[in-house]
Structure 1
């Protein structure tokens, strides 16, 4: 066998190996759970000055929807996850003269599924609410983008194939506009290992479901 033939076969094998590795990683990302919500799961995060704890409690029922109750620093959150998206319950109120006026109460999309690099989404909710004779116009928009994936390290360890996602949450009440930009890093079978809203918290401890 000539040197050129041997060289060609070596390069071909290396190319096939590289393609195979890439295909395995694509399949791994496509089949992994990047937002697990099983009862008993607990995440503990830290930053320079504070700690944050998230715990999955279990199934519940809100506004006609079966959902999952999560405690985030002992505050209730409600989530729905199916094959196409992950939704979070939004409950926005305006207090005037000791009374809460409901501006928005519904589940909103936070993440699409499956996670695909470069994909983006946007949806808004608009409404008008009468508050003590004044009309309050509300527009609540949620936009997101999956920036890509990579490897990151937190106090809890090293994580591979981590997706980085940016969310922009904007709330307009008449002429007042509040915009919040947040960043999330999601690891397969673990969930959020880092987030910034705007302070950055990193995963330090993780407990699997009971």
Structure 2
């Protein structure tokens, strides 16, 4: 895999221009973009830059983080608070993402997306209001372990960290086996449309656009 140095600004502009020229693969009215990366890669940063670049191009955007779609603590911690297998397959409520985010954006859907569902601090529902994404708008979903769920993305961006960088920058080292499993089972660098090497956040490099 060949990487070329690039700035975050140029990368964001290039991806936004590419998204602006896409048509939804499902024939519907909304595009869906993933910014996939471990928490150590800070996927919310590039996702926010992309969302703003798309808005400047006149697109309606819904930026949604999977951190707002965690399962209740009773389910996340069923096997302890530091179980990597549960983190891999049981922390994030993929069913709710299908129901509350992707379902409304299917062809003929309402466009009413729930921006978040569960507050991990209070361990209660956020009760956030639905937000209507206008036809022609773009969903930018960001977070870890996004690939491999058959989510209907039109473009996927994976923020890649080497094992050493991931270990150095991860605040919760007990999650590292989950990301090794993700690499082995999903191979996100091969599955994604765009791969960004983010070992040094000041100097990213990327594979280019598909």
* Shared fold per TM-score greater than 0.5: no
Q: TM-score, normalised by structure 1?
A: 0.23
- Please tell me whether Structure 1 or Structure 2 has the larger radius of gyration of its CA atoms: 1
- Bigger fraction of residues in strand: 1
Higher RCO (CA < 8 A, seq sep 6+): 2
